[in-house]
A and B are shown apart, each in its own frame.
Chain A
Amino acid sequence: MTARRLASGGLIDRTKVLRFRFDGRDYTGHPGDTLASALLASGVRIMGRSFKYHRPRGVWGAWFDDPGAIFNVALNGIELPNCPATTTPLIDGMEARAVNAWPSAERDIKGALDLFHRVLPAGFYYKTFMWPDWHLFEPSIRKMAGLGSVDGQTLEGFQTDQIHAHCDLLVVGGGLAGLAAARAAAEAGQHVVMVEDHPETGGSAYQLAQIEGQSPERWVADTVDAINVAGGEVITNATAYGVYDHQLVAIAQDRGFGFAPRLIRMRATKCLLASGALDRPLTFANNDRPGVMSLSGAVEFLSRYGVLVGDQVVVMASHCLAHSQIESLEAAGVRLRVIDPGTDLPRALSGKYLSALEIRGDLHPCDTILTSAGLTPVLHLWSHAGGKLIWDETFATFLPGTGPDWIEVIGAAAGTFDADDALAEARAKACGGPAPSRRYSYSATPPEAHLGSRHRQWIDLQHDVTLDDIELAARENYVSVEHLKRYTTLGMASDQGKTSNIAGLSAMAALQGKSIPEVGTTTFRPPFVPIPLELYHGAHRTQQNRPLKRLPLEPQHRAANAALGEYGGWLRPGWYGGGDPQVEVQREALQARETAGIFDASPLGKIEVMGPDAEAFVNFVYYNAFNTLKPGHIRYGFMLTEQGVVYDDGVITRIDENRFIISCSSSHVDGVYAHLEAWRQDGNDPDRIFVHDTTQNWATLALTGPKARAILSKVDLGIDLSNNAFPHMQMRTGTFERYPVRVARVSFTGDTSFEISVRADAAVTLWDALSCHANPIGTEAISILRAEKGYLIIGKDTDGESMPHDLGFGASRTKKSAAFVGDRGLHTEKANGPNRKRLVGFEVSDGAAPLPTGAHVVTHSDGKQITRGFVSSSYQSPNLNRPIALGLVDQRIPEGTQVELFHLGKYLTATLCAACVFDPEGERLHAE
């Protein structure tokens, strides 16, 4: 046992004992502990295994800078991966497991991997597993190298709430500087929010003996009280993890184990970044051994958790503020020796545990080695915000340079490491003043990297990147720091290089004989700490992300045993009856041709275009001519993109001279509306055209089949339904009960059809009037009926290249006498190419099954199989009593040709035919 808990000191509550397990053994801790501090206090040194070599890892730092101890933690049936031991508050009953270690961190079977380190250099996986395919090796490598496992279960109630907030001043970091700044600004009348990622504010304040004549606990409590009294807000357990455009700071607020963090999207007029500083690690031989720790980390474990990290300690520190930290450790009873390595390479010696530090041939027995090669300001958020980093020779680190006006850095993050200086600076900057000059000077003299050593020196403890790896990368000419990072994976583990960054840069600088600023630094990107993806979507998922559109007649459909499903964003009946789907759909498709069927067509678009320029506008946005359409008449048309590709089809009714109704595809209403608005506002005079989407204001029932007219005659609409008075492709208005009604003779089935539209609130009355005379049919039956007629569905029977002339509608392309959207696109070389795919039908031989949708039409040449088209729709037709199919096939293959089809490794045959296979003369459409 090397580390131990002191009888007093720290912020923990020794009167209460919390029990937990780690790698199968029982331990205890106290409220206020983290998993790491409780384990350290219990004498546990090895808390994980490294990513690549499975070397034992202990804790290096005391907070978010620790790269070594990552646990899977279970509590009350909830298990979460990737929990850093140093930042996970201890809760009674927790069961923690070191990741990347089996059966436990202390006795890891894969530790033998370390013996093979000479064959696992940087880029090893890339180089070795390229042939024949990395994906063959990836699963086993991932399993061997992972950082935790996920059980795949969705946690009940694990949902982020997302809050939009704003303030005059956001203070990031509740240490000395942050607290002083927040108080000063709040007392000056600013709306202040301060966020602190620890459960309690204070930061490293507890390392100090006194602050302005008070104990740290007293000073912190008084300051927080004063902030609250002045109307400021202090949010603890909250990490500002990213700065985004337009002064958005993203904050993740921890809500306890097993609960999703809360996302606060903070818009701050001003931001003060008081995020502190970290120890820069000293790079030396075997510096990854458990027991080698950050000096600040050790003092933090002492001052917060009352834990002495070692008994016999060697300290190597190369900056001028280390002495006060060394003194506080000595005062707590540590046997401590300070060693200046000078230009020599120290080496840690260890068996199972650390035993000594060797330098210049001398052995210094120790159980713990504490190092600090200097202080590194935490400037990630500054960098996110677009702030520059400048290298300071005296400080031997990056300090904030120029940056945006709204954000400033104070305290240790700005290089103001002395407490009194930091307080003065914070108070001045909180009220917009200039920073007073510092009274204390700081300097650091980190030793240079020892290149060419036969000993392994660790740079990135979590990803197992050694100085050797960086030397290898340099030999292989990875000289850019961005390339180096990706090749060696330096700084790419879940700690994102918080500690390894500067060590890696200094190694690169030594290798290239350059200074660190010449080598440059990599870009910091959000998030600053790992956060669950849940944070981003919050409640925006499933129905709350994209709500289904609901039909006014949904209760009536449900009463008729409809199988409801999503079709183009609407919840619609697929079929009715509650029986076997295949049987019900075939029954409905048969019934619609024998008698009649009622189809709920309410989702069909009803976008009105009005105004003196309406006619010219509709004529312009549609492929077909609409200036010749007479009032009361209906015409089918294609809407194209400017590339000439079919975007939508629909029927357009001219109600009167200056008023049209565009009935576009059900699933395209939003897109068509946006398309119309874009052309109306950008390219036309918007004061002479008005576009209004009334789709959901009207309910539409389509009555289709040979008995449709007879059935509709039983309902009094005040409209003469006879063929002569009311021919196909015309529209009539009438009155149903007391409601205005529109009846359109359009057909998506090839049979006589009437589309009856009433106000949405009259839908039930209309349904009741019609459904006693005919059975309903669902979307699936309609799909069969339209396919029998060769009627296409845009996006199903067309693709991103289909143009009207591929679909049998070539006339307007050459004959239309006015400009229209997509016109020039129809006359490119590609639009006239010989290999265009056109809409066709497929016939299969007697007794064959329906073709699989998506099957490719293939031909062979020079031993190669070439795709010539594909099946887009395929059904069993109950009316023809055989399979039917539509597809897009190379126009050079004529109808009547027997073609070969390929689908999932199997070959089939079919014969190309006309798309329309039912009533090709169209007699039923106009039947009496």
Chain B
Amino acid sequence: MQRFPCPFCGLRDEREFHYAGELGKTRPATFTKVSDKEWRDYLYAYRNEKGAAEEVWVHLTCREMFVMCRDTVTMEVIETRALRKEVSS
């Protein structure tokens, strides 16, 4: 069982977390014309990186979503940080 540091609550077991997707997925502006390919890429095309990957996770107990950078080979957690900071910056 892995352990992840929630930026708000600290180190917790993985069973308290849920993966929410890769970081950097921007929703296309759907009120304008969005091509099939653009929409497919948004929904299904993942980078699926080997090694350091930036992902969005949610800590189910505090319900906060956050960014986690982790190594998908070694399972090492490199960094976690709040998601909301990115929105306001």
Contact = CB atoms under 8 A, between A and B. Distances in A.
A819 interface: yes
A248 B1 CA distance: 7
Interface residues of A, number: 27
Nearest to B4: A246
A248 B3 CA distance: 10
Contact of B27 (A248, A683, A818): A683
B56 interface: yes
Nearest to A247: B3
A824 B39 contact: yes
Contact of B30 (A244, A245, A678, A819): A819
Interface string B45-89: 000000000001010000111000000001100000001100110
Nearest to B18: A674
Given A246-B3, A681-B64, A824 B28 contact: yes
A246 B27 contact: no
B9 interface: no
Nearest to B66: A681
B20 to A, nearest CB: 6
Contact of B63 (A248, A642, A677, A824): A677
Interface bin, chain B: 20 to 34
B68 to A, nearest CB: 13
Contacts of B30: 819-820, 823-824
A523 to B, nearest CB: 15
Interface in A896-913: none
Nearest to A643: B43
A825 B39 CA distance: 8
Interface centre among B21, B27, B88 (most CB of A within 10 A): B27
Given A248-B1, A685-B87, A819-B31, A678 B65 contact: yes
A686 to B, nearest CB: 5
Interface string A229-255: 000000000000000111010000000
A678 B75 contact: no
A245 B75 contact: yes
A828 interface: yes
A245 B65 contact: no
Interface string A309-324: 0000000000000000
B1 A678 contact: no
Nearest to B25: A682
A538 to B, nearest CB: 13
B31 A682 contact: no
Contacts of B29: 819
Contact of A246 (B75, B87, B88): B75
A687 B85 CA distance: 11
Nearest to B34: A824
Contacts of B18: 674
Interface string A809-833: 0000000001110011100110000
Interface string A623-643: 000000000000000000011
A687 B84 CA distance: 9
Contacts of B75: 245-246
A828 B36 contact: yes
Interface centre among A642, A681, A684 (most CB of B within 10 A): A681
Nearest to B26: A683
A334 B42 CA distance: 76
A685 B83 CA distance: 11
Interface string A580-621: 000000000000000000000000000000000000000000
Interface string B7-33: 000000000001011000001111100
Given A674-B18, A682-B65, A685-B88, 6 more contacts: A246-B1, A674-B63, A681-B84, A683-B27, A818-B31, A824-B39
10 contacts: A246-B1, A642-B42, A684-B87, A686-B84, A686-B87, A819-B29, A819-B30, A819-B31, A823-B31, A824-B34
Interface of A: 244-246, 248, 265, 267, 386, 642-643, 674, 677-678, 681-687, 818-820, 823-825, 828-829
